[in-house]
Amino acid sequence: MNKKIVGLIVAIVVVCAAVGTLVALSLVSHQNTKHEAQALAFTVQGTNSCLRFLESNVSLCYVPFTVGANQNWQLTINCTQMPGGSAGWTELYIYKGYWDNGTNHKCQAGDTYSILSSIQDNKKIIQGDNAFTETFNGGTNQQSYTVFFVFPNGGQGTFHVTYKQT
């Protein structure tokens, strides 16, 4: 085989490996970036024709937040409009990391595929007009989380989210 061809193949492999390493380091750096704990208050609306988290076009709400070291912060998600009334519900999922790759706290399930294996079903739901409330403790180190939930099917769902230090 021609030495020029072998050299070209080696150069291509080295460049691809370098680019792959830089992309991986960039993703890890973005996920580990320190974010300041700050209060949140917003309302978000959405609907779906399906509640299956794994279908790429299912609409999600996401709430990224940080808990400062030795601090307690409370996340409350209050449904002000739920299709199906008091019988309507949606599940919550938690990612132990700061994810903010959507727009205005909305994304599609397919956007989360790169972190999907790290998203945990925490067996919590928002049902009817019952709010989800949980206090997150910072411990000795700052922690970051992102809570996801699927917008309900059967009509418009409206949710008011607050995150405040306790």
pLDDT digits (tens, 9 = 90+) for 119-147: 998 888 898 878 999 999 988 999 999 99
First to last CA, the chain: 70
pLDDT over threshold 90, residue 101: yes
Q: Mean pLDDT in the chain?
A: 83
Residue 86: per-residue pLDDT: 86
**Rounded to whole angstroms, how far apart are CA atoms 144 and 65?**
6
CB 149 within 8 A of CB 91: yes
Reported confidence tier of residue 94, pLDDT bands at 50, 70, 90: very high
**Rounded to whole angstroms, how far apart are CA atoms 73 and 79?**
20
CB 152 within 8 A of CB 91: no
**Rounded to whole angstroms, how far apart are CA atoms 73 and 37?**
9
Which residues contact residue 90 at a Cβ distance below 8 angstroms, ignoring those fewer than 6 apart?
Answer: 51, 125, 126, 149, 150, 151, 152, 157
**Rounded to whole angstroms, how far apart are CA atoms 160 and 149?**
13
Q: What is the per-residue pLDDT across 58-75, written as a single tens digit (0 to 9) for each?
A: 999 999 999 999 999 999
Q: What is the dihedral of CA 39, 63, 95, 65, to 10 degrees?
A: -20
Q: What is the pTM of this model?
A: 0.77
State the Rg of the chain over Cα.
20
